[in-house]
Structure 1
Amino acid sequence: MITNHLLTGFTFGLSISIVSWMVGMIGNGILVKTQYYPKLSHLNFIPSRAMNKAIGIEQFKWIVKNTFFSFFNQSIKVESKNTDLSAIRHQMTLAEISHLIGFLFVAAFALFQSFNISIVFGLTMMIPNVFLNLYPSLLQQENKRRIDLLLKRQKTS
């Protein structure tokens, strides 16, 4: 029974996490028109580079850069030194907030399924959600901090 809940929870979590990307984009499209969105563009859940390293953001970044995930958001690429970093930062904010909305959507669904089916099913749903929604959001936050440093250097020079 537990093995069945582990397998089906993971599979269902994987499926709903991918669907949550669309939910995140729609939610972000609505949220971008509000007065709160500029505040959301400066989210910083884990400011420490050491903590990011400890949870494996560097390995996740390698996976994103060196697998098929690198083809997903082509607007977040620095092609040359003349690339508009503000525009890239804006695209990163859009992706970050979309993934956060998707993460919260799946987390709410997993909580519901924890009560409806079993706690094992709900917790297992969160595994793909963390890797497909939370980690991309944390990676965008780290990248935005790096871009903010570059933008700050450009303003001073």
Structure 2
Amino acid sequence: MTHPLVEEAAKKAAVAWVSVGGGLARAVWCLPQDGRLHVVVGPGEQELPGLAEAAAATVTLRGDHGGAVVTYPARVERIAPGGEAWAAVAVTLAGKRLNSPGTAEALAERWGRECALVALVPDGDPVPAGDDSGRAEPRPSPAANATRKPFRLHRVRRR
């Protein structure tokens, strides 16, 4: 039984942050279907090193206002080309891909040859998102320094 918070957040998910092996989380586009998130990784698609070979991952989903809502552990299941699950997911996912070259069927066929299609299945209790977002501190930048007031050509009179 999937947690209601995970179900509701996954229904609206178009992007998820996925971390493999405790590494940094990366944003990936996904397709929610049947309580799972489906993700394509590989050449010409999104890069998420280690996801195709991993057994587990950590998924963070955002809410309506862009902030993280829930983080949960997920089991990674690779979907093999040619099976029933592939037929049910690949063409639908290819149709949702923005700026795809060619038809959805041709794209799904290329994915079968070159990429990995995985399902992220919720596997454990979620952790509500709080102050510990896992983000790195911003690096120092000269853009953060205070600047002078803007130059005014004419004197501005106060009333």
Shorter chain as denominator, the TM-score bin is under 0.3
Instruction: Compare relative contact order (CA 8 Å, sep 6+) and give the higher one, 1 or 2.
Output: 1
The normalised TM-score by structure 1 is 0.26
Structure with larger Rg: 2
Write 1 or 2 for the structure with the bigger share of strand: 2
